[in-house]
Structure 1
Amino acid sequence: MSHDRETPGDSDSDRHLREEPQHLDELGPEAMYEAAVRLCTVGDGPHGVSVARTTVARIAETLADTRSRDCVMFAADLVGRLLPDGGMSPGEGDRLLRSVAAKLVRAQHLRDIEPLFGELPDGVSGPAVELRACLLGELALIGSGGGRRSLEAYADRLRELGHPLARLPRTRLDIEHRFAVRVRGLGPVKTAQQLQSRFPEAPSTDGGAVAGRGARDARDDGRANAAARPFRAGGWAREPEARFFTLPGRLGPDDFGISFLKELSLRCLAGEGSRRGIALACVTTPDDVLNELFAASYVGGVNGQGQGSAYARLYAWESLYALMGLPTGVPLLEAVRRAADHRWLRFMAFTDWFHHDTSDLAFAVLDPTRTRVAVLAATDTDVHRDALG
């Protein structure tokens, strides 16, 4: 189709919106919505359709962030119009839907969001249901929506239908107290001094080194994928390393430290000492690990994008379950109780894996029998690509 030929309903103002989306701010909410509805159905060839969809997505996010009941309805309607027709890739569609849900919860009054839940779903597929599931997930983490009949009924229906977000509790658990909370001065841990100043160092023992040499690789791809999901979803620069090991006997009570970890066949510790600095491990807690897992996909990597609170929370819990080796059917509060019986380490080293320039994370978990160990390491640096594999 010629770019000089006008398609039905494709007005000069619509073409102007596609070509110069920065002029969106000059329109009122209703005019933006009407233009976006037209752009959902028109376009000048594949490139024109792509630009139009991008503009509609921006309009939906702008409306979600503009406080009024009409804007709530406009944003929700545009998500429903835009996503089912294949106009966006699954990844782009997920990002838009989760972004709109997060903006609605942050910007709008609950009384204006509540009418979206007037009709219960028949299934879990489709952007309309997914948007509302994300809204419930976002509201749960800010402690809002409890006692609202329509929201409670919708959440119950999602549980009946088996929506993945519905397994999460409708209130923030105490172990989740740090989610999305920024503390001044507590950025990424990049140096050994920062790690030692925040967490007590685990001992380095000869017994740990002997036990590490006897550890056997216990490969489990499904479990590894679940453990690594927060980092993949957040678009961290490198593929995480998730590994599991079994020991021939119980690890000594003081031997779970860096001397033990250095004997495991870990890519993240390969060539330890190749950079200037010491390798060390420090004792941490399950809430620290869970918070870092949440932040990995909530914030997103340097080349990725945040996933919104609802799915960041789900991915964090799935990863924590995988690290502990728990079946998905174990209730979350039971998982919290069991987490206290595990031992948790944060560790770092100066290798080709850890670059200490953006975000590096590494955890090790020892189960209560002291015979099984899980390790998860992730880096958001994109240098020395070949060395990291």
Structure 2
Amino acid sequence: MRAVGRIADALAETRSRDCARFAVDIAGLLSLRPAQRAEGDRVRRSVAEKLVKTQQLRDLEALFGELPVRLDDPAVEVRACVLGELAMIGAGRGRPALDAYAERLRELGHPLARPPRTRLDVEHRFGVRVRGLGSVKTPDQLRSRFPEIAPTGSGTAAGRTAVESPDAGRAATVAEPFTVSGWSREPEARFFTLQGTLEPDDFNIAFIKELSLECLAGEGTRRGGALTCHTTADDVINELFAAAHNGGVNGQGQGAAYARLHAWNSLYALMGLPDDTPFPDAVRHAADCRWLRFMAFTDWFHHDAADVAFAVLDRSGTRVTVLAATDADTDADDQV
């Protein structure tokens, strides 16, 4: 299958209407059966990305002459990925064939039909690489990019009253960008309810340290202190997108269209929003929440690999969600 994938990729990167169709036809022959699904998805998503980067839009439009009948068709999946990739660059809307195909996908319930067909402003950092700005690995890097929030005694007191509200299904959705892309360790997603309204200034490391979090186990026993910094929803969703798009050390990237979907699924779950919440409403809701990045010196945070940790206080001030993920292979470290 890898050889087939290389041929399809090469065709997708050759600017020609015929090559574009041949690439889609080849990728559309790969099975959707579970045993072959992962490798087939890799090829389909790779071909879709390359097509959108290389081909003329008018030549891509020719691929959408027939409307889909069912979703269990690999050829339909390839085209859905192409539409998802076009949405990432804000292209394709207003083209009758593409609009009709997208609407049919929505009617059939394809997951890629859920996000908007153009990138929202909150997604402006997706796939953008800035020279000198990579992963945040150290406290100094965190402080240099985001405003640090000082601990407060009232934050400590509020944290001690927080009650965990387990929700396995929601936790799985929060962790989705990391699990689908093969990050080496199962992310930690926890939900807490407060007895009263938490003041925004008390949402800080003093509060976070009082929560029962695996990622903070042993905090204070090593050199270096934990800290929190204020951030925004666009930073959080960008990290979620990057995790799914780039892939982990034990997995592979998901392609931009699906990475975008996984990032939004996770963000909705972080905020506790129903799936049918319109995207503009979700963006407004995110702006009313308070978002933190945090870091500590524990077994969880390695400071030399991909570590991310976020907390969000909902706009009622009474519910907190925490997400921590690391791509460090702790089992391998233990064997060294």
Q: Give yes or no for TM over 0.5.
A: yes
Name 2:120's counterpart in structure 1: 173
CA distance in 2, matches of 1:311, 1:82: 18
CA distance in 2, matches of 1:384, 1:281: 27
SS of residue in 1 equivalent to 2:321: strand
C-alpha change, 1:308 and 1:79, in structure 2 (3 Å) is same
CA distance in 2, matches of 1:332, 1:163: 17
1:92-121 superposed Cα distances (whole Å, 9 cap, x missing partner): 121111111111111211122111100001
Unaligned runs of 5+ in 2: none
Offset, 1:384: 4.5
Name 2:23's counterpart in structure 1: 75
Offset, 1:82: 2.5
Q: Which one has the largest radius of gyration?
A: 1
Offset, 1:156: 1.1
Q: Which of 204, 218, 237 is the matching residue for 2:151?
A: 204
C-alpha change, 1:87 and 1:159, in structure 2 (3 Å) is closer
User: TM-score, normalised on structure 1?
Assistant: 0.83
Name 1:33's counterpart in structure 2: none
Name 1:330's counterpart in structure 2: 277
Letter of the aligned partner of 1:316 in structure 2? A
Q: Which of 125, 131, 135 is the matching residue for 2:82?
A: 135
CA contact (8 A) 1:200 1:282 kept: yes
Residue 314 (structure 1) aligned with residue 261 (structure 2): yes
Counting only pairs closer than 5 Å after superposition, residues 34-183 of structure 1 correspond to structure 2 as 53-84=1-32, 86=33, 89-183=36-130
Question: How many residue pairs end up in the alignment?
Answer: 334
CA distance in 1, matches of 2:331, 2:112: 37
1:265-289 superposed Cα distances (whole Å, 9 cap, x missing partner): 0000000133321100000000000
1:16-68 superposed Cα distances (whole Å, 9 cap, x missing partner): xxxxxxxxxxxxxxxxxxxxxxxxxxxxxxxxxxxxx2211221122212222
Offset, 1:87: 9.7
Name 2:187's counterpart in structure 1: 240
Name 2:174's counterpart in structure 1: 227
Name 2:213's counterpart in structure 1: 266
SS of residue in 2 equivalent to 1:123: coil
CA distance in 1, matches of 2:64, 2:178: 32
Query: Alpha carbon RMSD of aligned pairs, Å?
Result: 1.5
SS of residue in 2 equivalent to 1:81: coil
Letter of the aligned partner of 1:313 in structure 2? R
Name 2:252's counterpart in structure 1: 305
Q: Which of 239, 264, 271 is the matching residue for 1:292?
A: 239
Name 1:217's counterpart in structure 2: 164
Percent identity over the alignment is 67
Q: What stretches of structure 1 move > 6 A for 4+ residues in a row?
A: none
CA distance in 2, matches of 1:290, 1:253: 21
User: TM-score, normalised on structure 2?
Assistant: 0.96
C-alpha change, 1:221 and 1:310, in structure 2 (3 Å) is same
CA contact (8 A) 1:352 1:384 kept: no
CA distance in 1, matches of 2:24, 2:133: 36
Residue 369 (structure 1) aligned with residue 281 (structure 2): no
